[in-house]
């Protein structure tokens, strides 16, 4: 015979996340087959390309410019251009980045910003992807006439 808890506990969802647990195991196996050291090396290579964004006039990397203890994610600010406009411009070139405060408001306050742009990569990205972003970023300030 089933026994139910008193409200409101009896109305809490009861199905366990079985599919998610199985998928997490498959994802972990996939990563182990690639090799964590290979994933780390690949992200370091991509990060090296993305950090070249900081060589562009008017673009500031948020965080260290050195490719040490980094993952393949680089946040940046484009002087004089709102991050949403940056994202729209880059998206129009077929490249996806994230814009906003990325749940990192204290970091943005530290840099005197409300929001930023973020390029995130993974094993599915190529060096050419990162290079395309850097090339596209060179045209942002000219397009918005803030050079």
Tens digit of each residue's pLDDT (9 = 90 or more) over 66-105: 999 889 999 999 999 999 999 999 999 999 999 999 999 9
Domain-by-domain residue ranges, the chain? 9-143
Q: Which residues are catalytic?
A: 103
Torsions phi, psi of 99, nearest 5?
Answer: -135, 155
Given a cut of 50, the residues of the chain with pLDDT beneath it are: none
Confidence at residue 15, expressed as pLDDT on a 0 to 100 scale? 77
Give the whole-angstrom CA distance, residue 123 versus residue 125. 6
Q: What's the pLDDT score for residue 25?
A: 96
Architecture in CATH for domain 9-143? Alpha-Beta Complex (3.90)
| 74 burial via Cβ count (<10 Å: 0-12, 13-18, 19+) | buried
User: How remote is the C-alpha of 135 from its chain's centroid?
Assistant: 18
Please tell me the predicted confidence (pLDDT) of residue 4: 83
Task: Supply the pLDDT for residue 59.
Answer: 98
Strands (E) across the chain are located at 59-62, 73-78, 98-100, 116-120
- CA–CA dist 90, 23 (Å, integer): 32
Specify the pLDDT at position 12: 77
């Amino acid at each position: 015979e089933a026994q139910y808890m008193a409200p409101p506990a009896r109305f809490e969802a009861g199905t366990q996340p079985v599919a998610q647990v199985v998928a997490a195991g498959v994802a972990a196996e996939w990563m182990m087959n690639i090799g964590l050291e290979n994933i780390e090396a690949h992200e370091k290579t991509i990060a090296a390309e993305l950090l070249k964004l900081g060589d562009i006039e008017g673009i500031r990397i948020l965080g260290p410019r050195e490719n040490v203890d980094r993952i393949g994610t680089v946040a940046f600010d484009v002087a004089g251009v709102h991050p949403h406009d940056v994202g729209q411009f880059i998206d129009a070139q077929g490249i996806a980045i994230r814009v906003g405060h990325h749940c990192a408001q204290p970091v943005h306050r530290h840099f005197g910003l409300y929001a930023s742009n973020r390029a995130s990569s993974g094993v599915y990205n190529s060096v050419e992807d990162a290079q395309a972003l850097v090339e596209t970023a060179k045209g942002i300030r000219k397009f918005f006439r803030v050079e």
